[in-house]
A and B are shown apart, each in its own frame.
Chain A
Amino acid sequence: MTAFRRLPSGGRIDRAAPVNFTLDGRRRNGFAGDTLASALLAANATLVGRSFMYHRPRGFLAAGIEEPNGLFTLGEGGETEPNIPGTMVDVVEGLAAKSQNAWPSLGFDLMAVNSLAAPLFQAGFYYKTFMGPTKGAWMFYEPFIRRAAGLGKGSYERDPARYETVHEFCDVLVVGSGPAGLAAALTAGRSGARVVLAEQDSLFGGSLLSEHDEANEAWRTSALVELKALKNVRLRPRTTAQGLYDGNLAVLVERREHLKPDPRKGEARQIAILLRARTIVLAAGALERPLVFSNNDRPGVMLASAVRTYLDRFGVAPEKRAVIVTNNDTAYETGFDLAKAGIAVTIADHRATIAPELLGRAAGLGMAIFPATGVADVEGAKSLARVRLAGAHAAAVECDVLAMSGGWSPVVHLSSHGGIKPRYDGKIAGFVPGGFAPTHFGAGAMLGTFGLAAAVAEGREAGRRAAAMAGFDKKVKDVAAPDIAGGRAYSILPAWAPPATGKGKAFVDFQTDVTVKDIATAHQEGYQSVEHLKRYTTLGMGTDQGKTSNINAIALMAGHRDLPLASAGTTTFRPPYSPVAMGAIAGRGIDRHFRPTRLPPLHDWHKANGATFIEAGPWLRAWYYAWAGNSPETAYVKEMELVRKGVGLADVSTLGKIDVQGPDAAELLNRVYVNGFAKLAVGKARYGVMLNDDGVVLDDGTTTRLADDHYYMTTTTAQAGEVMSWLEYLLETQWTDLKVHVVSLTDEWAGMAISGPKSREALQLAFPGADVSNENLPYMGCLDILHDGVRVRLLRLSFSGELAYEIHLPADYAISLWEHVLKAAAPLGIKPYGLEALASLRIEKGHVAGLELDHRNTLDDLGLGRMAGKDKPYVGRELRFREKLQAEDRWSLVGIELLEPDKKLRGGAILFAAGDEIKGHGRGYITSVTWSTELGKFIALGLYRGGLKHEGAEIVCAYPLKNEQARARIVSPHFIDREGARLHA
């Protein structure tokens, strides 16, 4: 009968520090140093989970990260984290764990009825069963299946914990702190290299933690003392190397739950460490694998290494009797330690010949050894009753635990992340790294080297080579290996298939409930490659990603296919090595830190003066102001009226601004704009359009000539960065002979538009010393003045179609000047207007903006074709004339006016000709829409097939999302002041 107890002494737990925690609400006890698994096992809680599909009772199989059965949900509310192996959880005061996948309880799980229907649940069951009768059947079944099968459930509540990201650099990263890792870290550390030693466990030592050899412990302790004393070595416990990427980027995740971090104090629960290492030593060890036999999943059947770990590290032992079944030597160490603790041990060894040294030690400890013997079956349901042995010593043996060892699988995950496939090594009956990247090194069990002295030697050499490659090649004192007995070579007899005598299920993948029979079925049905096998049976797809199951499955399939195991291949190893919390991936990139917010220099004024804000790309812009109303629908109309009839002030600081200087500045502009800039007079501005090298419109804006060799370029808000990059790209790679420098001034200069028929008057009030008359500052003129000692640039430009100016000045002075303008022009009724009005005014005027300049339209599409210089070259000129870009039926810019006053036009509405069937993509769409204060109706800009050839035609604007249709008419996009009289007033 499965039974465990805590030994009165021994282990690495602190018996003076008891810890209370709960499981399913019931109070439990453990000690500091316990894992959830060891504390439960010490309390003889051997039934800890129900299996994924059959809901079979399960206990802990392992003691480490490979645990497939003992998964728990930790935490409450938003902190809920499901599917955490109890073997990886430190018990801390207040820990609340819940068991999973059982209802109403672990002991009595109604879904265990699934076991009775087991013949149905064969490989490919879901595919075969739920694909019909109709096409949508799967969608119907899926929620039920997911509820019945399963793992734990996450929470939809917000996780209050804090997660962080940190960048680290080092010369040598050592992954794993077993004997090989410690030796590597010490050697590299002694060389002076900056070393990071990452260990997923809470303690350093790897396999050394699961034994109690005094000499080995002394070696481990002294190694750690030295490592801690080395200032160039950083020890990172509870830190799992989850992935290796190009450029020697290792992603490590550190867990700090045991510290009970307080997010309000900035304490992180987990930290993702993006570590860039010059070289990497992989000493990730190996994982023991189960043997496959009937009922090998019963609680009490465990990996031999786990039994040893629970005994030696946590002081938790089976009650009286243990049976060990093995095909290799390492399980004997478990037997020796158990026997020394007073447990009666029987070893069934698949091999007929066993090393005399092992036999001698076993005899000395009173152990029974049965060579050429395996396990036929396990009796018992929720716990182990007896083990039926088969082979040379067929017998039924009662015991408390069955410890099994099918050999060891090197952890080849990290060495494979870069695409190097593992290779099969017959000597250890396992896969080893197929090679290493030039800056990666391996050592110890992950290379298939089992044995302490050899691991230390390999670690030492890997550490030396890694440090030397990183530039630290001075000779250092050798790391001595611990003084150990033996030196026996590792011996294993592969045992993949179960004995034929067992009648129960023989599990290959414990977590996803895949049995030997499922693999046979997959083979029979043609899913024979390991990748197909995985997807057809779900083998290796659980949260443990088949750490204990993959090789057994591959071997079984190879057997069915009559292939040597070396030819069967493995599935692809991809990061992460173990499940990672989404929070750790997101780090602090949440809420307001999800993306940066860009604030114009006038932001603080807007905020203090009733602006409502709207996001425009990264910018937060003043949308409308409280003086005009409390909703955008009403406010922007009032703000438009202010500009059309009086004078308004708008923040246009978001416009891109670029300083262009140098003897070839005019030449550069002449090449990038379709229209000429070389002859532009100093003190004058010009509207210009740029194409990209596909001949499609990139951006527009005005550029002012400040001096012969100096221009001030403005771009649209949306394309500011792109235009800047484009100019730099051209100057640095294509036109390196041009003597021009470009510098972004978007942050240096603030801009404000003063618009409306009274704007000149307002400007004069604000700058009484400046001559802003029509003669001195005509349309498209520029005037640099000094105001209170500050250089201020006045540009006579108009986005609204009214008489208007832009005032540009160094950003820190923007608020002060803005307030000055508002105060000085107050007698004229000046008020601020926001982005909504700004954008609506330009629609009335028919100016294209970001919504029309969407990188798909040509000059002609936008009605700007006549601007292009006929004789001068410019970027995009040749490709602009491609046949398709000149087609007459291209979607081109039109104005649209609504014909049904009781309806609305909507941005994005699909346009159809009157009489068209309202279906599909139509003949175009609305890009921008507004209520026109001048016309008293909704108007829009849009792109329509054939464009203004259809001027006057009636169309239908369909908005399927709201099931709306509205009649409208194609008109000129210039709704107001076509002659431009207002601009030139």
Chain B
Amino acid sequence: MLERHSALANVAPYRSAVLQLAEARGFSLVQAAVFSKDAEKEISNITGKLPAKIGTALEAGGCTLMRVGPRQFWFVGAEGDGLADKLTGVCAVTPLSHSRTRIFLEGAPARDVLAKGIALDFHESAFKPGMFAMTGLHHTPLLVHCLSRHRFELYALRTFAVTVWDWLTDAALEFAG
């Protein structure tokens, strides 16, 4: 039986009284890309909704829907949700569940940790729950999704996940313990 092995399987855990920092496993990520507005409608019929703008995620049927390009979407759902199969034939479908390692930060210092490495405005008035940004951390691409005032999920490239983890735990060192 083939078993999954996370990129972060062997990293040292981070412990803090004020900040949680850990991998958030068990998700399905599908990239859908279209060539027409009609295809967007068809997708919408399957997913329930489809965001019009880049930068703000929608939630529908347990799935997080993000427009990540003018004609590209990311759908993040539960592991094995079968969405890729449902979309096949409607648009260009690329399963990417293994390509990203999802890390979450939760706690009051979360925004401060992110600000150490990402040139984005993480002020509460600027980066609000539901918003996401495609950016970079430590020279690698990263998608940051704000789930609530103090919780963020980061989608790091799997092959850079350990380096991103190292960077995050180092940046969060002042809050550890």
Chain A residues with a Cβ under 8 A of chain B: 164-169, 194, 265-268, 274, 276, 588, 592-593, 595-601, 603-604, 607, 619, 653, 659, 661-663, 739, 741, 743-749, 787-790, 810-817, 820
The answer to whether A588 and B3 have CB atoms under 8 Å apart is no
The answer to whether A604 and B119 have CB atoms under 8 Å apart is no
Q: Which of A169, A663, A814 meets B5, CB within 8 Å? A: A814
Q: How many A-B residue pairs have CB under 8 A?
A: 144
Q: Which of A597, A661, A810 meets B162, CB within 8 Å? A: A597
The answer to whether A813 and B115 have CB atoms under 8 Å apart is no
A808 to B165, CA, bound (A): 26
The answer to whether A661 and B157 have CB atoms under 8 Å apart is no
> Of residues 12 to 40 in B, which have CB atoms within 8 Å of A's CB atoms?
31, 33, 35
A746 to B160, CA, bound (A): 11
Please provide the 4 A-B residue pairs with the shortest distance between their CB atoms, ordered closest to farther. A266-B173, A266-B174, A748-B99, A169-B121
Shortest Cβ distance from B171 into A: residue:
A588
The answer to whether A747 and B99 have CB atoms under 8 Å apart is yes
> Of residues 56 to 88 in B, which have CB atoms within 8 Å of A's CB atoms?
71-72
What residues of B have a CB within 8 angstroms of the CB of A746 in the complex?
A: 99, 159
7 A-B pairs in the complex with CB atoms less than 8 angstroms apart:
A167-B116, A194-B123, A593-B170, A596-B167, A661-B33, A745-B94, A748-B99
A596 to B163, CA, bound (A): 6
The answer to whether A813 and B99 have CB atoms under 8 Å apart is no
> Of residues 38 to 62 in B, which have CB atoms within 8 Å of A's CB atoms?
none
What residues of A have a CB within 8 angstroms of the CB of B3 in the complex?
A: 813, 816
Chain B residues with a Cβ under 8 A of chain A: 1-7, 9-10, 31, 33, 35, 71-72, 92-100, 112, 115-121, 123, 125-126, 138-140, 157-164, 166-167, 170-177
The answer to whether B92 and A811 have CB atoms under 8 Å apart is no
Shortest Cβ distance from B33 into A: residue:
A741
A817 to B4, CA, bound (A): 10
What residues of A have a CB within 8 angstroms of the CB of B31 in the complex?
A: 743
Q: Which of B35, B92, B118 has the most CB of A within 10 A?
A: B92
What residues of B have a CB within 8 angstroms of the CB of A816 in the complex?
A: 1-5
The answer to whether B5 and A597 have CB atoms under 8 Å apart is no
Shortest Cβ distance from B32 into A: residue:
A741
Shortest Cβ distance from B140 into A: residue:
A596
The answer to whether B92 and A662 have CB atoms under 8 Å apart is yes
A603 to B6, CA, bound (A): 11
The answer to whether B7 and A169 have CB atoms under 8 Å apart is no
A333 to B76, CA, bound (A): 69
If A167-B115, A662-B35, A743-B33 touch, does A748 touch B96 (CB 8 Å cutoff)? yes
Q: Which of A274, A600, A739, A812 meets B119, CB within 8 Å? A: A274
A690 to B71, CA, bound (A): 27
If A593-B138, A596-B139 touch, does A812 touch B5 (CB 8 Å cutoff)? yes
What residues of A have a CB within 8 angstroms of the CB of B115 in the complex?
A: 166-168
The answer to whether A811 and B138 have CB atoms under 8 Å apart is no
Q: Which of A596, A662, A815, A817 has the most CB of B within 10 A?
A: A596
Q: 13 other contacts beyond A167-B120, A741-B33, with CB at 8 A cut-off? A: A166-B116, A596-B138, A596-B139, A596-B163, A741-B94, A747-B158, A748-B95, A788-B1, A810-B98, A812-B98, A813-B2, A813-B98, A816-B4
The answer to whether A169 and B157 have CB atoms under 8 Å apart is no
A595 to B170, CA, bound (A): 14
If A164-B116, A167-B118, A592-B166 touch, does A817 touch B98 (CB 8 Å cutoff)? no
Q: Which of B2, B10, B112 meets A604, CB within 8 Å? A: B10
The answer to whether A743 and B2 have CB atoms under 8 Å apart is no
A597 to B120, CA, bound (A): 23
Shortest Cβ distance from A710 into B: residue:
B92
A817 to B3, CA, bound (A): 8
| A271 to B: closest C-beta gap in Å | 9
What residues of A have a CB within 8 angstroms of the CB of B170 in the complex?
A: 266, 588, 593
| B48 to A: closest C-beta gap in Å | 23
If A167-B119, A266-B174, A604-B5 touch, does A810 touch B166 (CB 8 Å cutoff)? no
A790 to B121, CA, bound (A): 41
A324 to B31, CA, bound (A): 76
The answer to whether A265 and B33 have CB atoms under 8 Å apart is no
What residues of B have a CB within 8 angstroms of the CB of A268 in the complex?
A: 174
What residues of A have a CB within 8 angstroms of the CB of B177 in the complex?
A: 265
The answer to whether A599 and B159 have CB atoms under 8 Å apart is yes
The answer to whether A790 and B2 have CB atoms under 8 Å apart is yes
What residues of A have a CB within 8 angstroms of the CB of B118 in the complex?
A: 167
What residues of A have a CB within 8 angstroms of the CB of B140 in the complex?
A: 596
A689 to B175, CA, bound (A): 51
The answer to whether B2 and A820 have CB atoms under 8 Å apart is yes
A285 to B143, CA, bound (A): 42
What residues of A have a CB within 8 angstroms of the CB of B167 in the complex?
A: 588, 593, 596
A653 to B7, CA, bound (A): 14
If A169-B121, A743-B94, A746-B159 touch, does A817 touch B173 (CB 8 Å cutoff)? no
Q: Which of B5, B120, B138, B177 has the most CB of A within 10 A?
A: B5
The answer to whether A599 and B98 have CB atoms under 8 Å apart is no
What residues of B have a CB within 8 angstroms of the CB of A745 in the complex?
A: 94, 96, 99
A5 to B150, CA, bound (A): 53
| B82 to A: closest C-beta gap in Å | 13
A588 to B118, CA, bound (A): 13
What residues of B have a CB within 8 angstroms of the CB of A595 in the complex?
A: 139
